[in-house]
Every structure is written in C-alpha cells, then in structure tokens.
Amino acid sequence: MATTNHEQVGKVLTLVRDTILPELERTWRAHFGKAWIKKVSHQINYWKDVASPDDLIFLLKGMDATWNLFRNTHSRRTRSYLHLLWEARNEWAHNKRFSYEETFRILDHCEMLLNAFRATKEAEKVRDLKLGLRKAGQKPGIVNPDPPLTRRPTGIRLWEEQRAVRSGIEVLERVLEALYKKYGKNLVYRYPHVSYNRTDFSRPRQVGSTDLYMNRNLPIDEIIKRAYRVLSIFGHPPSDLEILYD
C-alpha cells in the first residue's frame, strides 16, 4: 500500500524529533540540571503537567522559549524553522489531509532544520523522500516548480497582475515584495530566507521597495523553487504564479 502524505509527514517529523533531542537535552541539562524537563516545561507554560521529551512540540517550543541558550550555535533562520514545524506538527496531529505542495514544503523545512543541527545523513534521507515525492507528484493538477533552464524569465503573472522581470532573481524578488505588502512582518517570521539585516547574507540584495534583504547568489532552479515555496507557506497554490519566458 502506498504511503499517504500524512504518513510521510509523520515519519519525517519523528526523524526530526529523534535527531534534535540529544543536542537539546545536553544544553538544557547543562543549564537547568537534573530537573531540566520540568524547567523547560515551565518555560513554555506547562505548569500543571510536565511535558515529555518524546513530544516534538515540547522540543520545538522549548528551544524557542530558551533561545538565549542556542543563539550562539544556531542562526535566526533555525528559529524560523521551529515555528514552521510546530504548525506542521499540530496540523499532522489533527489528521489534516496534506496536499502534494504542503507535504513537499514540510519536508523541505525538516531538511533545513536537520541541516541546521548538522545532521547530514538525516537531511539526506529527507532529501531522498522529497525527490520521490516530486516524481510521484508529476501528474495532472500538479504544477512543476522546476523551470525550463534554457529560457530566460521575462515576467510573472501573480494573482492576475503581470509584472516584467529582467532576470531570474527578480522573479523571487517580485513574489517576496507582493507577499510583504500583503502580510507584512509575518513574511520575515515565517520565511527564513529574508531579513531586515543585510549582513545575514553573503551577497545581499534588497527586495524591491521593501526594507528586506535576501541572498542574490542563487542558481535559477533554486530561485524558482523558492518563489513557489514561499507562496505555499501562506496557503497560495502554485497556480497563482505563472512565470513568463522569452
């Protein structure tokens, strides 16, 4: 029997839980001592009951609540992944039926968090699952985010509004600019690849007329993938974006 998207998400979230627990436990135990579970539980307002370290929500919210213990070993982007994944965990726990795009996005965030924890082998497992999911998803009704690499983008049509672009990076820039106008700071909180601080990137580029920055040093295929990915974070289907080529 084929694995459902819900089962796929559950499998990967369990992998994330088992992978990040040792580092979190070492850090919390070193700071809080033997009562670390109780102390972290209180940090996330679990006053009546002591949470279980086998609960991914406890780990994600606990790391966020005690961020001062991790800020020297993890970047701001890691913290963004925590928020994205506890949303996914809550949806999974409520038996949400995940679409292809939602499943791919969750797996992508899991891979990024695993990389942030330097768990290379585990991240590779998730990458393989993503490749398998993409192959299975190439059917009618699925928009393939992979661009025709031999052609140059000349414009985008987003929510029926058409705008010209002169390069691949401007595709992502136009999408981010539109989302920032629509969602404001929520874009920064939920999408880890933008920042108000240009020094967060090796080759910063200002996002249109906003006060945000992103990395300009990206291959064209990654640029297009990110454009579709950030739309999916805010619940917009891939069909909302059409990339025009010469």
Q: Which tokens hold the place of 212?
A: 């945000």
d(CA 67, CA 52): 19
Q: pLDDT tens digits for 138-153?
A: 443 444 444 444 467 8
- C-alpha torsion angle, residues 24, 27, 30, 34 (rounded to 10): -20
Same domain, 121 and 16: yes
Same domain as 115, residue 28: yes
Most confident residue range from 76-85, 131-140, 176-185, 191-200: 176-185
Grouping H, G, I as helix, E, B as strand and the rest as coil, residue 246 is coil
Residues 98 and 167 in one domain: no
Range of the domain at 170: 153-245
| Token reading at 242 | 């059409």
**Predicted pLDDT of residue 222:** 79
Domain assignment present for 241: yes
Give yes or no: residues 26 and 58 share one domain.
yes
Last residue of a domain, one of 105, 136, 167: 136
Between 14-18, 52-56, 64-68, 200-204, the lowest mean confidence (pLDDT) is in 200-204
Instruction: Please identify, among 76, 102, 136, the residue that sits at the C-terminal boundary of a domain.
Output: 136
At 90-113, the pLDDT tens digits run 889 988 888 887 888 899 889 989
Please check whether residue 147 lies inside any domain of the structure.
no
Distances (CA, A) of 73 to 27, 55, 70, 170, 188: 11, 23, 5, 32, 21
Q: From residue 153, how far is each of 139, 146, 158, 169, 203 by CA, in Å?
A: 24, 13, 14, 9, 21
Same domain, 190 and 165: yes
Is 223 inside any structural domain?
yes
Chain-wide mean pLDDT for the chain? Answer: 85
Residues 111 and 182 in one domain: no
* Same domain, yes or no: 88 and 184: no
* Domain count along the chain: 2
The residue whose two tokens read 């994944």 is 85
180-228: pLDDT as tens digits: 999 998 898 888 889 999 888 888 999 989 999 998 887 777 788 888 8
- In this structure, are 20 and 104 located in the same domain? yes
Residue 141 lies in a domain: no
Assign residue 199 the CATH number of its domain: 1.20.1380.10
Place of tokens 């025009």: 244
What pTM was computed for the model?
0.60
